[in-house]
Amino acid sequence: MTGKDGLSSSVVETIAGFTAGIATTLCLHPLDLIKTRLQVDRTHSSRIGSSLRVVRQLFHNEGGFAAFYRGLTPNIIGNSSSWALYFLLYGDTKDIIRNWRLHEKPEGGQRPQLASSDYFLASGIAGILTSVLTNPIWVIKTRMLATGSKSPGAYTSFTKGAIQILRSEGIPGFYRGLVPSLFGVSHGALQFMAYEKLKLYRARTPFAVAKETVPPPTGSEKKRELNNLDFFFTSSVSKVFAGSITYPYQVLRSRMQTYDAHLAYQGLRDAIVQIWTTEGLGGFYKGLGPNLFRVLPSTWVTFLVYENTRAYLPKLISGN
């Protein structure tokens, strides 16, 4: 579908997602690094103050403030490409479902309203495809964030990390941690299902403070154009909802993507058993503290940048 400005909806979704991914990573990379260090730590139990311990180690032992930006390149590449692909595939899948619904049950030519299950399905498909396509980037990113630049065998750059994995582990090495990543698709599916339904709810309530768009036809439901406060609210609630259910998969993914994962664990099931046996339930929630500090600002930046880029890019291109 192409708008009046000549830009297809797919191009707009891709650029908006790409921009959101870059902005989020630049703002919150240090918290991502701290979270990763805690997730892969098998020597300390999960307790309050662990984040401060990691911060001190980074600052004193790995080069000061610069250490907090190790692995920034793969993180930017991973986040920008992931969000670009995700929003592209998510938007296209929603369009396919809408067209199918319209063909299945025409409603006077009106765009059919998607159900929660439709949003869940569209997000799940987008998440699976994105995870498969971008997993190699996340393997390199996890390994760079999990170790200091001076550690033995540490990757000195994104390119050298890719070459080293290819030489020592082959193509399968790029797909370590893919299974828990696919489990993590449920996180995005739950989040976007809640996000889309909350947006619809906000658009229909008097609390959605924003200017009206085109006057609604007689007898139709009155909707308002959402503003940044609405996006702030809906993204926050949907992220907390999804994150509270699915966080342990992130720990498992990080553990399976470390340098020595093949030596420490015989597989995903073994990792689950070892974590439960040696670290208890708290082991599955390591890094939750910095993740909470990171995840909400990350969500705000991602969705505010995405929604505003999607809204204003066509206007900017068309000159209106």
pLDDT digit string, tens, across residues 1-18: 555 455 677 888 888 888
Residue 112 has pLDDT above 90, yes or no: no
Terminal CA-CA length for the chain: 20
- Provide the pLDDT for residue 256: 85
Question: Comparing 161-170, 210-219, 220-229, which segment has the lowest mean pLDDT?
Answer: 210-219
76: tokens are 């930017």
- CA atoms within a 13 Å half-sphere pointing along the CA-CB vector of 291: 19
CATH dotted code for 9-318? 1.50.40.10
Dump pLDDT digits (tens) for 157-191: 899 999 999 999 999 999 988 888 887 788 888 99
Specify the higher pLDDT residue, 221 or 118: 118
- Provide the pLDDT for residue 90: 92
264: tokens are 């420490």
Specify the higher pLDDT residue, 184 or 268: 268
Average pLDDT (92-104) is 85
Q: Is residue 249 a contact partner of residue 183, using CB atoms and an 8 Å limit?
A: yes
The 10 Å Cβ neighbour count of residue 112 is: 17
DSSP per-residue codes, 68-125: GGTTHHHHHHHHHHHHHHHHHHHHHHHHHHHHHHHHHS--TTPPPPPPHHHHHHHHHH
Question: Comparing 144-148, 230-234, 272-276, which segment has the lowest mean pLDDT?
Answer: 144-148
- CA atoms within a 13 Å half-sphere pointing along the CA-CB vector of 211: 2
Q: CA of 154: how far to CAs of 20, 140, 149, 261, 270, in Å?
A: 29, 10, 6, 15, 25
Residue 307: name the closest of 220, 221, 202, 217 by CA: 202
Dump pLDDT digits (tens) for 54-91: 888 888 888 788 888 888 888 899 889 998 999 999 99
Distance CA 312, CA 320 (A): 9
Query: Token pair 């082959």 is at which residue?
Result: 170
Q: CA of 22: how far to CAs of 75, 174, 184, in Å?
A: 9, 22, 21
Domain ranges of the chain: 9-318
- Provide the pLDDT for residue 174: 93
Query: Token pair 């999607």 is at which residue?
Result: 310
Average pLDDT (273-292) is 83
Residue 215 has pLDDT above 50, yes or no: no
- Provide the pLDDT for residue 234: 92
Distance CA 174, CA 48 (A): 33
Specify the higher pLDDT residue, 222 or 185: 185
Average pLDDT (82-107) is 85
Residue 82: name the closest of 275, 306, 320, 307 by CA: 306
Average pLDDT (201-218) is 56
pTM above 0.85, yes or no: no
